[in-house]
Chain A
Amino acid sequence: MSYVAAGYSFAFGGLALYALSIWWRGRRARR
């Protein structure tokens, strides 16, 4: 089950981090 948890964590976590990076770059561009 740990491999499954790792797979789901990487997929969902990675995409969440990417979404966060877009938001952060947008905030920086607005400054």
Chain B
Amino acid sequence: MIKQLSQRLLGPVTLILLALTLWLGLWVTPSFKVQGNLARLVYVHPAVAWVAIYVSFGTATIASALYLWRRTRSMLVDRIAHCAMEVSVVFIILTLITGSIWGRPAWGVWWAWDARLTSTAVLGVFALAYLALRRANDDPELRARRSAVLALLAAVNVPIIQFSVQWWKTLHQGATVFSTDHGLKIHGLQAWTLLISFLGFTMLYFWLLRARYRLEVLRDERYRASLEEALVQRRREGVR
């Protein structure tokens, strides 16, 4: 009952939260002190990056670890890892694009080989390599095992992205929402809009993951059916 209700509500609630993000972010919230209207990108870029690096890549990493652990090994977790990684690629690309659009007027360049930017791009390359590796293997178990190992190797990059702004002198700004002493740096309606954007994009991720998972199940069913059909045909040819 609760599961059915949450599945039904996921789409509409996501739509409402994202519409609120657009409305509040573009028209209602006041402009910022230093960057003026340009800083309205704060309601999009960090939330997209959060989903890309932590939520979706995190899902793919956990599912891959579960696959490699014998007790929890199943094609279900492998499928979740694959779908989450594909969604992660989309979010990583959008993180880099929105960041670049913000960087051009703020820094004067579209791209800089800065630690935060470069490590995020490296994560994107790893995620693309993961999808390529899956296409290169036909054996489902071998494919699942190899891609799970690659996902875990790529996950080493996540803490590097997180701490890159502290470890190196970067063009990318440091913590925006929380200061180093964990005090809140953003207040009032701006803080609420930021929270709504994070919630909206996170729920959109789960909606996309569910849709992508259903597609994968459908493809597997079709593949199995066509395989069985081909086998029956072969047997018939043998009888003749």
- Is B28 close to A, CB under 8 A? no
Cβ contacts under 8 Å, A8 to chain B = 22, 25-26, 41, 44
Q: How far is the CA of A15 from the CA of B15 in the complex (A)?
A: 12
Q: Are B102 and A10 in contact (CB under 8 A)?
A: no
* Residues from 45 to 100 in B contacting A, C-beta threshold 8 Å: 45, 48, 87, 90, 93-94, 97-98
Q: How far is the CA of A30 from the CA of B62 in the complex (A)?
A: 30
Interface residues on B, range: 20 to 34
Q: Are A19 and B208 in contact (CB under 8 A)?
A: yes
Cβ contacts under 8 Å, B154 to chain A = none
* Residues from 1 to 31 in A contacting B, C-beta threshold 8 Å: 1, 3-4, 6-8, 10-12, 14-15, 18-19, 22-23, 25-26, 29-30
Distance in angstroms from B63 CB to nearest chain A CB is 18
| Chain B interface, DSSP helix/strand/loop, else mixed | helix
Q: Which 4 A-B pairs have the closest CB atoms?
A: A7-B101, A11-B44, A7-B41, A18-B90
Q: Are A22 and B104 in contact (CB under 8 A)?
A: no
Cβ contacts under 8 Å, B215 to chain A = 22, 25-26, 29
- Is B40 close to A, CB under 8 A? yes
Q: Are B48 and A22 in contact (CB under 8 A)?
A: no
- Is B105 close to A, CB under 8 A? yes
